[in-house]
Structure 1
Amino acid sequence: MGASASVIQEYYKAVDYWADIAGNRDWKLSVWIVGQNDVDLVDRFLEIERSPVGRFDDIFFRFDTPYKGDDEEYAEQLWQEYAGWFSEKVEEKYDILRALRHDGLLREEYTPDVSVEHTAGNLWREMLRFKACISRLDDAFFCLYFPPEQERGCSRTGWFGNVLKEGVPQGIRMTTIDLRGNRNVRLDESREVVCIRPRFDMAAALHNRMARSDSGNDLIAPENRFKQQVTVVMDCTQKQDWKLLDREIRKLLDISKEMKDTNIRTSALFIASEACYAIREYRHSMKYSDATIKEAEKAMESGEAAGYSYWKMAVSMKAAILTAGKKREEAVALYEGMARKAITQKDPYYVMEGYRMCGFLRYEVGKMEQAFEYFLLALSGGSYLSGEIRRSSTFTYAAHLALHTGRQVRSPLDVSILEGQLREWLGDDWKELVDNPDMQLAKARRKGGIFN
């Protein structure tokens, strides 16, 4: 297949597009502006983020209530849909409270307070009350996904505009999909509104898949069985049953072998690693991470465009497992290798993250001089990011710890030079971003989803 497009490859493009905005804590609404052929891909990405194997810190929820032009009626229906998530009739696999109790994450019992006026603003506040009942979510957002309207009769521009005007509290943000040729949410980009204009090649990806096998609606075709089995594996993570998950992972890997597609095979291994991590089977997660890395390296050697994407995510996964197990030296070696590879791939974000984690691990054990040097490398890598991303990403964490360690091991003159550089990179208000009480809690953590 070479470097030609595949559906899996296009999916990982969506992952990268979201990574570009995930660290920005200012936006309240992101709009994916895509062609008709790309709607299903973005929807699938957001659905995966709703599952335990999602990659990002945000906790995703989906509101399916259609907007019919009446703001008050819509707010009422959103309230009814939200309250329905907690009803006694909800299916076990969608029972949020049951999952939280099972994982010991529910700080206190929660029942939606439907007695307040049913406005959008009150709904966001009620969701934040629910968020406060869950442990490990202090720094995460509730990201509310509003799918694209099936019937394009009513523009949602006014509704989203009014919601933003009334104010969306910190901890809540929204995302939706809009058609490039028939816009339904016509809002200009601003500090609060981010427009994602991805460049996918789904037509070519689907053509390549069909060329390999005319599966159509054939439920026994490997392509369709693979997609179904991915869903089965995700569902298994909610049951916290290793024997069941192990069996379903083996089925997934068997199907991927049938397809004779290196990208599919590699993605299956990575999904297995994520699923094992989700139920805290770290030894098995490590095994599948190693296998993913091996396959991704082969893909990179043969010119597969998606090879590097698989590689960096698998290395990050393995390093996170080592970090959790206090195997700091091995983790540092991996993060440093990831940063160096990212340099050759012209990937400044992963250069920054690799060196930042090296610095943090050195900082944890009191090796301040080494930590400081790694933080400087992280800042150097991050300096190639856009100014907006620098201001809203972990670049500010690296800056905070660079100053903290630098003040202990370097002269005041050296620190003042660093401060001048931070002003250049972040702006005149750099101290508000870097030297503030919130930064005392700056820690690098993997996703702590509410279902895993």
Structure 2
Amino acid sequence: MGASASVIQEYYKAVDYWADIAGKKDWKLAIWIVGRNDVDLVDKFLEIERSPVGQFDDIFFRFDTPYRGDDDEYAAQLWQEYAGWFEEQAEEKDDMLKALRHDGLLKTEYRPDTSAEPTAANLWKEMLRFKECISRLENAFFCIYFPPEQSGEFPRTEWFGQVLKEGVPQGIRLTTIDLKKDRNVALDESPEVVHIRPRFEMAAALHNRMARADAGNDLIAPENRFKQQVTAVMDCTRKQDLKPLEKEIRKLLDIAGELKDANIRISALFIASEACYAIREYKSSMKYSDKTIREAEKAMKDGEAAGYSYWKMAVSMKAAILTAEKKREEAVALYEGIAGKAVERKDPYYVMEGYRMCGFLRYEEGKLEQAFEYFLLALAGGSYLSEDIRRSSTFTYAAHLALHTGRQVRAPIDIEVLERQLHEWLGEDWKELVENPSMRQAKARRKGGIFN
């Protein structure tokens, strides 16, 4: 079963596991419950999310302060670590505020206010104050990663439990890694706590890597050089310069070619696309997205399980660029393609997202009848998701816009049918979910994208 497993392939499994919860709005703590062999993989995934080439919109932070059993002391040390992030650094890439200024993202100057009582609750408030100083984060979360405790001597169940009891504000999320055979954060699942129980094949992936490596030259084995080059590409994005980035990308693709592994070759192309996207070189990002799509389609034909994951991410990226550039017809065609492929693959979330974006683009054009029909297709696709995902995902946005457009193009009796269906899909409080004030932004047509 693990004969074709690779570290890169396992990494993209981690991406998919996070994607399953990223769209849910209500959770406050995500606990990765894994075996010892998988800790490093999840840690690396979260580290990549902290970098410019992370997959998700949320902004990831990491606190390395170890917990030693004293809650008050721990909170004070977390405050100290947080304040240390903003100390001036010689290198701009290491200075958070300088980097934000360089990218034009710092709306107002910020310095951490350490005068408040050093509690976890006050720390979240201070981080939200920082978030308000940064452009384009209105719909993103600050996701705070607490690495697993190495010793296991001091369980953190009570600390996390108390933090949740005191309240984690909207806009902040927490995540950590826990060992399934030696739980350190033994909190049950709840609306606020989600468990991620991944099924990786890291042992097989590591075995395959060792088998491919030259025993006497492990440091120059292609897989090790590939891993190092991924880091080099990620680091290069901080320079915001395409020329040196393309040089590092060429090295990455050359090493990937040496490995004779379709999954690694596709992942290299997608990483290249992500890296160009991160520095706003959308033409280059599109080029690598197209190459990723072609290779992923070949992989799907060959029965490679990871092919579809790469394909949908690459097509989604290409569609997002076209959307930002107001190339709506091309974007709609791609989003329709995503939805169609997702139907074939029995992937209801991407069925919903593909049709939802088609509907939104038609809505922006004022084509309300078409928009309404797309939103209905999105809801039909999303209806195959579990109720908790429907209630906490973009399903509610699709429902809101379906009602908003439908009331303008359909008879009241048709809308009554839709409302009864939403009651069935979302529960008694469906109106609170779908028609609350926070949904106003859902029907706001864009005046300009962040890429313009």
Tell me the equivalent position of 2:25. 25
Instruction: Give deviations 1:52-86, integer Å, cap 9, x for gaps.
Output: 11111211000000001111111111011000000
C-alpha displacement at 1:4, in angstroms? 2.6
Instruction: Give deviations 1:162-214, integer Å, cap 9, x for gaps.
Output: 11111111111100000011100011111111111111111112222222224
Tell me the equivalent position of 1:285. 285
Shifted more, 344-353 versus 217-226: the winner is 217-226
For residues 101 and 216 of structure 2, the distance between their equivalents in structure 1, rounded to whole angstroms, comes to: 42
Q: Does 1:7 align with 2:7?
A: yes
C-alpha displacement at 1:157, in angstroms? 0.6
Shifted more, 385-394 versus 10-19: the winner is 10-19
Report the 3-state secondary structure (helix = DSSP H, G, I; strand = E; otherwise coil) of the residue aligned with 2:31: strand
Instruction: Give deviations 1:407-431, integer Å, cap 9, x for gaps.
Output: 1111000000000000100111111
C-alpha displacement at 1:91, in angstroms? 4.7
TM-score when normalising by structure 2: 0.96
Gaps of 5+ in 2: none
Tell me the equivalent position of 1:180. 180
Question: What letter corresponds to residue 322 of structure 1 in structure 2?
Answer: L
For residues 20 and 280 of structure 2, the distance between their equivalents in structure 1, rounded to whole angstroms, comes to: 28
Tell me the equivalent position of 1:349. 349
Question: What letter corresponds to residue 112 of structure 2 in structure 1?
Answer: P
For residues 62 and 414 of structure 2, the distance between their equivalents in structure 1, rounded to whole angstroms, comes to: 49
Alignment length (residue pairs): 446
1:3/1:303 contact within 8 Å kept: no
Question: What letter corresponds to residue 310 of structure 2 in structure 1?
Answer: Y
C-alpha displacement at 1:50, in angstroms? 0.6
Tell me the equivalent position of 1:230. 230
Question: What letter corresponds to residue 328 of structure 2 in structure 1?
Answer: R
Question: What letter corresponds to residue 336 of structure 1 in structure 2?
Answer: E
Report the 3-state secondary structure (helix = DSSP H, G, I; strand = E; otherwise coil) of the residue aligned with 2:205: helix
Tell me the equivalent position of 1:411. 411
For residues 225 and 209 of structure 1, the distance between their equivalents in structure 2, rounded to whole angstroms, comes to: 12
Tell me the equivalent position of 2:249. 249
Tell me the equivalent position of 1:395. 395
C-alpha displacement at 1:2, in angstroms? 10
For residues 386 and 420 of structure 1, the distance between their equivalents in structure 2, rounded to whole angstroms, comes to: 18
For residues 3 and 342 of structure 1, the distance between their equivalents in structure 2, rounded to whole angstroms, comes to: 27
Tell me the equivalent position of 2:98. 98
Q: Does 1:69 align with 2:72?
A: no
Write out aligned runs for 1:301-320 (5 A).
Answer: 301-320=301-320
1:351/1:381 contact within 8 Å kept: yes
Q: CA RMSD in A?
A: 1.7
For residues 422 and 123 of structure 1, the distance between their equivalents in structure 2, rounded to whole angstroms, comes to: 39
Question: What letter corresponds to residue 110 of structure 1 in structure 2?
Answer: Y
Report the 3-state secondary structure (helix = DSSP H, G, I; strand = E; otherwise coil) of the residue aligned with 2:219: coil
Change (3 A) 1:36 1:117: same
Tell me the equivalent position of 1:430. 430
For residues 365 and 138 of structure 1, the distance between their equivalents in structure 2, rounded to whole angstroms, comes to: 24
Write out aligned runs for 1:134-153 (5 A).
Answer: 134-153=134-153
2:89/2:95 contact within 8 Å kept: no
C-alpha displacement at 1:260, in angstroms? 0.9
Tell me the equivalent position of 1:221. 221
1:140/1:171 contact within 8 Å kept: yes
Report the 3-state secondary structure (helix = DSSP H, G, I; strand = E; otherwise coil) of the residue aligned with 2:220: coil
Tell me the equivalent position of 1:52. 52
For residues 393 and 90 of structure 1, the distance between their equivalents in structure 2, rounded to whole angstroms, comes to: 42
Tell me the equivalent position of 1:194. 194
4+ aligned runs moved over 6 Å, structure 1: none
For residues 217 and 443 of structure 2, the distance between their equivalents in structure 1, rounded to whole angstroms, comes to: 47
C-alpha displacement at 1:443, in angstroms? 7.1
C-alpha displacement at 1:10, in angstroms? 1.3
2:3/2:204 contact within 8 Å kept: no
2:2/2:201 contact within 8 Å kept: no
Instruction: Give deviations 1:254-294, integer Å, cap 9, x for gaps.
Output: 11111111100000000000111111111111110000000
Tell me the equivalent position of 1:42. 42
Report the 3-state secondary structure (helix = DSSP H, G, I; strand = E; otherwise coil) of the residue aligned with 1:238: helix
Question: What letter corresponds to residue 126 of structure 1 in structure 2?
Answer: E
For residues 121 and 211 of structure 1, the distance between their equivalents in structure 2, rounded to whole angstroms, comes to: 49
1:2/1:302 contact within 8 Å kept: no
Tell me the equivalent position of 2:336. 336
C-alpha displacement at 1:316, in angstroms? 0.4
Instruction: Give deviations 1:21-55, integer Å, cap 9, x for gaps.
Output: 11111111110000001101111111111111111
For residues 60 and 129 of structure 2, the distance between their equivalents in structure 1, rounded to whole angstroms, comes to: 16
2:120/2:163 contact within 8 Å kept: yes
Instruction: Give deviations 1:365-418, integer Å, cap 9, x for gaps.
Output: 011111111110100000011111101111111101111111111100000000
For residues 154 and 38 of structure 1, the distance between their equivalents in structure 2, rounded to whole angstroms, comes to: 21
C-alpha displacement at 1:139, in angstroms? 1.5
Tell me the equivalent position of 2:300. 300
Tell me the equivalent position of 1:441. 441
Report the 3-state secondary structure (helix = DSSP H, G, I; strand = E; otherwise coil) of the residue aligned with 2:218: coil
C-alpha displacement at 1:89, in angstroms? 3.9
For residues 359 and 89 of structure 2, the distance between their equivalents in structure 1, rounded to whole angstroms, comes to: 49
Report the 3-state secondary structure (helix = DSSP H, G, I; strand = E; otherwise coil) of the residue aligned with 1:219: helix
Tell me the equivalent position of 2:117. 117
C-alpha displacement at 1:158, in angstroms? 1.0
C-alpha displacement at 1:94, in angstroms? 2.4
C-alpha displacement at 1:436, in angstroms? 1.7
For residues 251 and 225 of structure 2, the distance between their equivalents in structure 1, rounded to whole angstroms, comes to: 10
Report 1 or 2 for greater relative contact order, CA contacts < 8 Å, sequence distance ≥ 6.
1
Tell me the equivalent position of 2:160. 160
Gaps of 5+ in 1: none
For residues 195 and 409 of structure 1, the distance between their equivalents in structure 2, rounded to whole angstroms, comes to: 42
Report the 3-state secondary structure (helix = DSSP H, G, I; strand = E; otherwise coil) of the residue aligned with 1:163: helix
Change (3 A) 1:48 1:370: same
Report the 3-state secondary structure (helix = DSSP H, G, I; strand = E; otherwise coil) of the residue aligned with 2:239: coil
Question: What letter corresponds to residue 73 of structure 1 in structure 2?
Answer: E
Tell me the equivalent position of 1:126. 126
